[in-house]
Amino acid sequence: KVQPLDSTWWRSLQAMKNPKQRAQAYVQKAAMKNADDMILYLQGGPGFGAPTPVAGLGLSSEGSWAGKALSKFTRVVLMDQRGTGRSSPVTKQSLEKRFPDLFLLDGKEEEEGEAMSIQSIQDLETEDASKVKDALVQATDFLAQFRADNIVKDAEEIRDALLLPTNDEQHPRPYGGCLGQSFGGFCILTYLSQVEHPPRVCLLTGGIAPMATDAYVLYQSMWERVKERNLRYYDMYPGDIAVVQRIVKRLWRQPAPLPSGGILTARRFLQEGLALGGSPSAFASIHSMLSTAFLDDDDNDEFTKAFLKKMEYESSFDDHPFYFLLHESIYADGPKFSPTRWAAHRAYEDIIHKTPSEFDYKLTSRLNNNNNSNDDDDVSGPTLFFGEMVFPWMADGDYVELSGLGMRLLAHGLANKEDWGSLYDFDRIRAVLTTTRTRAAAAVYVEDMYVDFDVSLKLTQRGGPLEHCKVWITN
């Protein structure tokens, strides 16, 4: 129940137009001298803001982690990581304003109706081309500041801003706890590696980063896990084997324009497999969407508008470009593991060139033989969806907010960046957890499609950096 005094204070707070004044008023009202009763939540991604209470995050103490956390702590800090949510979100629109020169030649590409190659830009010596190249360096350096190393620094700044000022430098005031989901867990490991006084309790859910593992090697393993999730899906819905093949054939012949721009191609459609490793209801959601794909059961192959809208809604890349641009950079732990050079795509290409390959949707959907299923090059079995992988072609027009020469140059610039900074320090993680100054526990999922189970478990074994992390193996 809101007391009259609180109501009056709240109304006076809303009258303040200066955000800094409002923030200072919050701090004075809370009167928190330390962060022992604060738990920080780090969202998965990269590229997603924190969930909004009530609207996107339940507060029930029985069915919600947030409700449970509030029963243990007095404050839950839902941090929009830099460049996401309301933390000055980075989008194509904002990049066009910040780095206009990067997009100078986008119009030229549209006029000519033909995509310019990355190499052709490097070879151009015009004034505009020179401006584009300079802007590319600036934009690449700018986006390099949005990884876990700076996210944890921001978390420290936020904590200090929420506490009453102090001149006592002898007694650190770390967060009482921190919960990291998936990529948020990666951030926690960077926290343990780089911050002198990390949170006292660190909880990781599906978020043990595959430290000291080359991205290409990692994706070779992850493609196999994606296949297993696909086969499990088709075991549950065997009728969808034919439906998926029909959709892929239709999109191969004629890609479908989407309501808000972009093109639904066969390859973009297969990225719906990103959801296969999600919640327990993920399989049912995909099946429900596929069941609405076609307007009629005849041979016209006309898509319903509802299906096209759903396909657009289910994709996160247009609204969250970091999920594309910085996705593989989370594995670039210093120069030794850089550049990533589209590691998932390279692993996929190598797999499908082992002829014949069950991963090659062109074969499993029988796209090249005029529906003659007896062709020797065909591979029996279902068409496999992709997983949580990003590809260079995503900037070639499939996604409207990722496309255009400027975005394509930026994506390739980040993929080929050779001087990424270090994210993890094995010795420091081990030292922090050995002293019990910080305690850690992690939930590791056996069939995790997003984070490699075997690599995660290896890091928690005797002698590993997370030897003193309590591990709960589940599914």
My answer on whether 345 and 377 are in the same domain is yes
Say yes or no to pLDDT of 98 above 90: yes
pLDDT at position 120 is 78
**105: domain range?**
99-145
Examine residue 227 and state whether it is found in any structural domain, yes or no.
Answer: yes
Whether cis (ω within 30° of 0) applies to the bond prior to 382 is no
In what order do the strands lie in the sheet containing 38-42?
75-78, 38-42, 177-181, 201-205, 439-445, 470-474
My answer on whether 264 and 360 are in the same domain is yes
Examine residue 276 and state whether it is found in any structural domain, yes or no.
Answer: yes
Say yes or no to pLDDT of 220 above 70: yes
My answer on whether 132 and 179 are in the same domain is no
More confident call, 233 vs 27? 233
The two structure tokens encoding residue 218: 């990692």
My answer on whether 78 and 220 are in the same domain is no
Examine residue 92 and state whether it is found in any structural domain, yes or no.
Answer: no
Examine residue 10 and state whether it is found in any structural domain, yes or no.
Answer: no
Can you give the CATH number for the domain in which 40 is found? 3.40.50.1820
Examine residue 21 and state whether it is found in any structural domain, yes or no.
Answer: no
My answer on whether 314 and 392 are in the same domain is yes
Which of 125, 145, 165 is a domain's end point? 145
pLDDT at position 391 is 98
Q: What pLDDT digit, counting tens, does each position of 296-319 carry?
A: 877 788 999 999 999 999 888 999
Which of 377, 394, 415 is a domain's end point? 415
Residue count of the chain: 475
pLDDT band at 354 (very low <50, low <70, confident <90, very high): confident
Q: What pLDDT digit, counting tens, does each position of 127-173 carry?
A: 989 999 999 999 999 999 999 999 999 999 999 988 888 888 778 89
Which of 415, 436, 461 is a domain's end point? 415
Domain count, the chain: 3
User: According to the per-residue pLDDT averaged within each range, which of 3-17, 56-70, 459-473 is highest?
Assistant: 459-473
My answer on whether 305 and 204 are in the same domain is no
Say yes or no to pLDDT of 20 above 60: yes
Examine residue 432 and state whether it is found in any structural domain, yes or no.
Answer: yes
pLDDT at position 34 is 86
Can you tell me the distance from the alpha carbon of 280 to that of 287, in angstroms, rounded to the nearest whole number? 13
pLDDT at position 6 is 64
pLDDT at position 64 is 85
My answer on whether 281 and 248 are in the same domain is yes
State mean pLDDT over 18-47.
84
Q: What pLDDT digit, counting tens, does each position of 194-214 carry?
A: 999 999 999 999 999 999 999
pLDDT at position 372 is 46
